[in-house]
């Protein structure tokens, strides 16, 4: 026998379609003694409208039919029967039925539109929220973790991501669904068109190829599952776009680093015919003089020439060591092997290296104590600081002072190297870091080549920082070279290994 009342009819909307005509009848019975019968129909129309606004079209039409029959049975003469003996009454109830059906349908459609607008607004809110979270992600792992966390919060499921090459331990059905999702780049599993017998839903994430697969499962046994795949598909599209942006940013960063390395390599190779020429010429001239005139030269003159040879040899050794290390970076062979160190370690090693270069100048170190740990390549930052301090020593007069100041500025460590030289003209401060740029005044002499500062700037830029030149924060003349070194977002939990105090 056909079931005239399937179980879905007993759900809330249909109970409301049955209840509102009953309530309308009770209210109409009360007011019928005070109002004309024609006005009683408005109570039933109100009931139909309320039903339509709180359910959908089908329950509203059912409520309209029940209201029509109830109104005819209880209030149209002859009462307590469905018969009608007056033509005007037939027209009235027919018009009532028509209005009730129209009101029910319009009200139901209005509610469906309201629900659709509410659903779209909610979806848009979730999309904007995910876009905001993805905007701060700088790596593939961060994007995937953010996506899974957002899906878990919005859909109340368990979502995890796996590499296509490292699937989780699964049953036969779920394993086949995972493999199919990876190979064909389409959703598989519960709620999808294929492999629906799987207890999990697998959603591939594809950029150029499938780079990860989302495994979505019910949070608890009683949780509704599977979720709507439309919303998941929207979230996955946002994540794929974020992954493309990350790849593009990484490519641009890599291209920028390659350009910096190429510029540095060119500068260092050119230094063979520039910075190395002066000490070699001095050494050759001194040795030739000793060889040709050693008998005519006094002991003091010979000692002066030997001292000049030793100083130029040390200078040449520094140039060669600097050249070898930096050229390896230029070729990409020397990576930024970062370590946790403090700026005090870098400064102490630099002071030891520059001590033989001092000619009655004094170097003072001031600033914050203690400074935070830096995640840098210690030897390279040390070399960059050494080049700048050596430059300051050259142009600070005897008896003058050089000051090293440390400070914090937001997420950056500031290190100032302040000398008492003649200073650098305002219009040439940006150009002094160019290769082979020289000026005839200021902190550069005509014979300078500018490679030391160019190398230091390249090292800082490789670490995400830079060096600029300002006026010293004192009444003295000179220049202040300011190092901007980015601070790591998190400090290490263990003490760093003290490996920065070994000389180059």
Domains and CATH numbers, the chain: 7-114 (no CATH), 148-247 (3.30.450.40), 274-334 (1.10.287.130), 336-504 (3.30.565.10)
Report the C-alpha gap between 402 and 404 in whole angstroms.
7
Q: What is the pLDDT of residues 118-172, one digit of tens each?
A: 766 777 787 788 888 888 787 888 888 888 888 888 888 888 898 888 888 888 8
CA-atom Rg of the chain in angstroms: 42
> Does residue 59 register a pLDDT over 70?
yes
Least confident stretch, 80-94, 304-318, 392-406: 80-94
Q: What is residue 416's predicted lDDT score, i.e. its pLDDT?
A: 92
Q: Which of 268, 396, 361, 252 is nearest to 320 (CA)?
A: 268
Please write the tens of the pLDDT for every residue from 414-428.
999 998 888 787 777
CA 380 to chain centre: 28
More confident residue, 303 or 473: 303
pLDDT above 70 covers what percent of the chain? 75
For residue 416, give the 3-state DSSP assignment.
Answer: strand
Determine the Cα–Cα distance for residues 112 and 104; give it in Å rounded to an integer: 12
∠ CA 77-78-81, rounded to 5°: 115
Q: Two tokens at 11?
A: 């759900």
Give yes or no for residue 372 having a pLDDT over 80: yes
**Mean pLDDT, rounded, for 447-455:** 62
Is residue 237 within 8 Å of residue 202, measured between CB atoms? no
311-338 as b/e: b if 16+ CB within 10 A: ebeebbebbeebbebbbebbeeebeeee
**Calpha distance 26→23 (Å, rounded):** 5
pTM above 0.95, yes or no: no
Report residue 228 as tokens: 């709507």
Alpha-helical runs (H) found in 271-341: 277-293, 299-330
Return d(Cα 65, Cα 42) in angstroms, integer: 15
Buried/exposed code over 24-53 (b: 16+ C-beta within 10 A; e: otherwise): bbeebeeeeeeeeeeebbebbbebbbbbbe
HSE-up of residue 407 (Cα within 13 Å, Cβ side): 9
Cα–Cα dist 305/303, whole Å: 5
Residue 315 in tokens? 């200078």
- Pick the closest to residue 45 from 81, 97, 90, 9 (CA basis): 97
Residue 463's alpha-carbon distances to 44, 337, 487, in angstroms, are 77, 11, 10
Burial letters 279-291, b for 16+ CB under 10 A, else e: beebbeebeebee
Give the DSSP letter string of 359-388: SS-EEEEEE-SSPPPEEE-HHHHHHHHHHH
Average pLDDT over residues 482-503: 67
Mean pLDDT of the chain: 77
Whether residue 325 contacts residue 309, with contact meaning beta carbons closer than 8 Å, is answered with no
Alpha carbon 58 to its chain centroid, in Å, reads: 49
Mean pLDDT in residue range 49-68: 75
Helix (H) or strand (E) holding 393: helix 378-395
Q: Does residue 466 surpass a pLDDT of 70? A: yes
Please, which pLDDT band fits residue 109 given cuts at 50, 70 and 90? confident
Write out the two tokens for 471: 């006026």
How many helices and strands in the chain, by DSSP H and E?
A: 12, 11
Average pLDDT over residues 278-302: 84
Please name the residue that has the structure tokens 């309201």. 114
Q: Strand 339-341 and strand 480-486: pairing? A: unpaired
Cβ contact 425:431 at 8 Å: no
CB-based contacts of 145, cutoff 8 Å, min separation 6: 161
Give the residue-averaged pLDDT of 296-303: 86
Q: Which segments of 135-228 does DSSP mark as H helices, in order?
A: 140-155, 172-184
At 58 the pLDDT is 74
Query: CA–CA separation, 110 vs 176, rounded Å?
Result: 44
Q: How far is CA 288 from the centre of its chain?
A: 63
Cβ atoms 124, 72 nearer than 8 A: no
Better pLDDT: 502 or 207:
207
Looking only at the bridges linking them, the beta strands covering 362-367 and 157-162 are unpaired
* Average pLDDT for 253-273: 69
CA distance 484 to 118: 50
Mean pLDDT, residues 295-319 taken together: 83
Task: Name, of 40-54, 360-374, 471-485, the range with top average pLDDT.
Answer: 360-374
pLDDT above 60 (res 279): yes
DSSP string, 123-136: HHHHHHHHHHHHTT
> What is the secondary structure of 453-474 as a DSSP string?
HHHHHHHHHHTT-EEEEE--SS
- pLDDT confidence bin for 470, thresholds 50/70/90: confident
Distance of CA 286 to the CA centre of its chain: 59
Residue owning tokens 């000049």: 308
The per-residue b/e assignment along 155-189, b for 16 or more CB within 10 angstroms, e otherwise, is bebbbbbbebeebeebeebbebbbbbbbeeebbbb
**pLDDT at residue 23 above 80?**
yes
């Amino acid at each position: 026998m056909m079931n005239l009342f399937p179980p879905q009819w007993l759900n809330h909307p249909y109970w409301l379609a049955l209840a509102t005509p009953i309530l309308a009848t009770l209210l109409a019975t009360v007011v019928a003694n005070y109002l004309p019968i024609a006005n009683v129909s408005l109570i039933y129309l109100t009931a139909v409208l309320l039903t339509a606004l709180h359910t959908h079209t089908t329950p509203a039409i059912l409520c309209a039919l029940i209201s029509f029959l109830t109104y005819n049975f209880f209030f149209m003469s002859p009462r307590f029967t469905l018969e009608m003996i007056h033509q005007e009454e037939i027209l009235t109830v027919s018009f009532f039925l028509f209005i009730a059906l129209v009101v029910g349908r319009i009200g139901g459609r209005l509610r469906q539109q309201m629900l659709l607008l509410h659903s779209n607004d909610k979806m848009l809110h979730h999309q904007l929220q995910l876009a905001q979270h993805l905007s701060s992600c700088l790596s593939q792992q961060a994007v995937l973790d953010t996506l899974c966390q957002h899906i878990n919060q919005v859909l109340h499921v368990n979502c995890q991501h796996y590499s296509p090459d490292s699937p989780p331990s699964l049953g036969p059905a779920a394993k086949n669904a995972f493999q199919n999702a990876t190979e064909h780049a389409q959703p598989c599993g519960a709620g999808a068109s294929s492999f629906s017998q799987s207890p999990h839903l697998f959603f591939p994430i594809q950029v150029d190829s499938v780079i990860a697969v989302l495994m979505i499962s019910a949070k608890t046994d009683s949780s509704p599952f599977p979720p709507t795949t439309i919303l998941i598909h929207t979230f996955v599209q946002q994540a794929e776009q974020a992954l493309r942006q990350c790849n593009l940013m990484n490519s641009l960063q890599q291209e920028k680093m390659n350009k910096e390395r190429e510029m540095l390599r060119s500068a260092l190779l050119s230094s063979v015919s520039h910075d190395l020429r002066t000490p070699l010429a001095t050494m050759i001239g001194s040795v030739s003089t000793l060889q040709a005139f050693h008998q005519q030269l006094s002991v003091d003159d010979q000692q002066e020439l030997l001292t000049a040879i030793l100083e130029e040899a040390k200078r040449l050794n520094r140039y060669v060591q600097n050249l070898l290390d930096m050229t390896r970076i230029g070729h990409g062979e020397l990576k930024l092997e970062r370590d946790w160190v403090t700026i005090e370690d870098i400064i102490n090693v630099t002071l030891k290296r520059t001590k033989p270069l001092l000619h009655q100048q004094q170097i003072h170190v001031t600033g914050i104590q203690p400074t935070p740990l830096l995640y840098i390549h210690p030897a390279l930052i040390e070399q960059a600081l050494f080049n700048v301090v050596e430059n300051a020593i050259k142009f600070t007069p005897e008896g003058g002072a050089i000051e090293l100041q440390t400070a914090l500025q937001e997420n950056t460590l500031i290190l100032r190297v302040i000398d008492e030289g003649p200073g650098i003209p305002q219009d040439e401060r940006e150009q002094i870091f160019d290769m082979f740029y020289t000026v005839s005044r200021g902190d550069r002499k005509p014979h300078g080549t500018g490679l030391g500062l160019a190398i230091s700037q390249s090292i800082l830029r490789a670490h995400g920082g830079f060096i600029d030149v300002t006026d010293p924060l004192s009444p003295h003349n000179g220049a202040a070279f300011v190092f901007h070194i980015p601070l790591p977002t998190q400090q290490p939990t263990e003490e760093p290994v003290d490996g920065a105090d070994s000389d180059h």
